């Protein structure tokens, strides 16, 4: 049987890494540095989102200020990653230590975006896959952050993520192996709706049988968003790996099968693994299905 994975996921072989001169160490270093800086800046904005969206605060209103002494944070103290290191994670005025999670989110976004570009280039993947995956990293980190901190996955984040994924499918249909934009949009939509429907049914059944909520609607919407960015093979892996990681964490760290855990950070871990290991994982899928 010939199972064409290209229908699900088009992995074009392109040598853009060479064409853009990225094989030269000097060019490579400069480009990767700025990609890292870009990712870290977005991470800094995501910190604001994680803090403000669950509380219903406006993202544009009020410049950043210290939540303890109220002093405004100057632009030179607000440089992603660097300022945290220079000020040793404290407010310049009142010296109150800030949570290391701000620093972690900036660093994580910087590293993941830089690694994404390196990985796509070295594996000769089409550069067209980068924007969608970058957006998934940003939306995913924001959702994981709000779920971890406040146990909510805001619709504002998941629905905007879905809209961006569909828009991107229309703009870059080649990622979906399509030449017509509406075909790609349909593939993207189905890749989100199908797993979300299955999980929703699972959640309903779980509630009936266990008598308590096993899966929140926020998690279901997050999975739909992942599917719209990654396609069916990717979202399938995300859910399996996420469930596995969450269960393992519950057993080892919380020492319980029934611990109430935020699910989205684990799903996000699954999605990130897929983003960086999609080629070997697709080969493995192909072996499973073609035999
Ligand atoms: Zn302060």
Tokens 């109220």 found at: 70
Q: Helix 181-210 crosses helix 217-230 at what angle (to 10 degrees)? A: 150
Q: 166 to each of 133, 192, 259, how far by Cα in Å? A: 13, 10, 35
pLDDT reported for residue 258: 65
Share of the chain above pLDDT 70, in %: 92
205-260 residue pLDDT tens: 988 888 777 788 999 999 999 999 999 999 999 999 999 999 898 888 877 666 67
Count of CA atoms in the C-beta half-sphere (13 A) of 161: 29
Distance 240 CA to ligand 1 centre (A): 43
- Kindly report which listed range (61-65, 107-111, 145-149) carries the lowest average pLDDT score: 61-65
Neighbouring-strand partners of residue 13: 125
Q: Is residue 151 scored above 70 in pLDDT?
A: yes
Residue 230: count of CB within 10 angstroms of its CB: 27
Distance 209 CA to ligand 1 centre (A): 50
Q: How far is it, in rounded angstroms, from Cα 143 to Cα 151?
A: 10
22-74 residue pLDDT tens: 777 788 888 889 999 999 999 999 999 999 999 888 887 767 778 788 888 88
pLDDT reported for residue 4: 44
Distance 93 CA to ligand 1 centre (A): 5
pLDDT reported for residue 44: 93
CA angle 169, 174, 180 (to 5 degrees): 70
* Average pLDDT over every residue of 108-116: 96
**271 compared with 206, residue with greater pLDDT:** 271
Distance 77 CA to ligand 1 centre (A): 12
DSSP H helices, 88-180, are 100-122, 129-150, 155-171
160-199 residue pLDDT tens: 999 999 999 999 998 998 889 999 999 999 999 999 999 9
Distance 63 CA to ligand 1 centre (A): 14
Average pLDDT over the chain, rounded to an integer: 87
Distance 154 CA to ligand 1 centre (A): 28
Tokens 């073609």 found at: 290
Distance 67 CA to ligand 1 centre (A): 7
Distance 82 CA to ligand 1 centre (A): 18
What is this structure's pTM? 0.90
Q: How far is it, in rounded angstroms, from Cα 158 to Cα 104?
A: 22
**In terms of Cα–Cα distance, which of 263, 54, 265 is closest to 152?**
54
Residue 191 and residue 227 in contact, taking contact as beta carbons nearer than 8 Å: yes
């Amino acid at each position: 049987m010939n199972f064409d994975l290209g229908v699900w996921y088009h992995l074009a072989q392109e040598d853009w890494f060479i064409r853009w001169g990225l094989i030269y160490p000097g060019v490579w270093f400069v480009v990767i540095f700025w990609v890292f800086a870009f990712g870290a800046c977005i991470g800094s904005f995501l910190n604001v989102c994680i803090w403000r969206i669950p509380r219903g605060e406006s993202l544009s209103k009020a410049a950043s200020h210290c939540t303890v002494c109220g002093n405004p944070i100057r632009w030179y103290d607000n440089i992603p990653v660097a300022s945290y290191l220079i000020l040793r994670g404290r407010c310049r005025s009142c010296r109150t230590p800030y949570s290391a999670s701000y620093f972690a989110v900036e660093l994580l976004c910087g590293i993941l975006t830089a690694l994404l570009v390196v990985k796509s280039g070295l594996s000769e993947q089409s550069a067209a896959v980068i924007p969608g995956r970058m957006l998934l990293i940003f939306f995913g980190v924001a959702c994981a952050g709000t779920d971890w901190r406040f146990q909510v996955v805001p619709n504002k984040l998941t629905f905007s993520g879905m809209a961006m994924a569909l828009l991107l499918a229309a703009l870059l249909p080649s990622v979906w192996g399509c030449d017509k934009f509406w075909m790609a949009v349909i593939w993207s939509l189905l890749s989100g709706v199908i797993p979300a429907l299955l999980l929703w049914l699972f959640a309903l059944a779980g509630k009936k049988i266990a008598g308590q909520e096993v899966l929140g609607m926020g998690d279901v919407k997050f999975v739909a968003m992942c599917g719209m960015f990654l396609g069916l093979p990717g979202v399938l892996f995300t859910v399996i790996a996420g469930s596995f990681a969450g269960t393992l964490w519950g057993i080892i760290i919380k020492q319980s099968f029934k611990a109430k855990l935020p699910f989205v950070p684990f799903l996000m871990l699954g999605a990130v693994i897929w983003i960086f290991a999609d080629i070997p994982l697709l080969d493995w899928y192909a072996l499973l299905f073609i035999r």
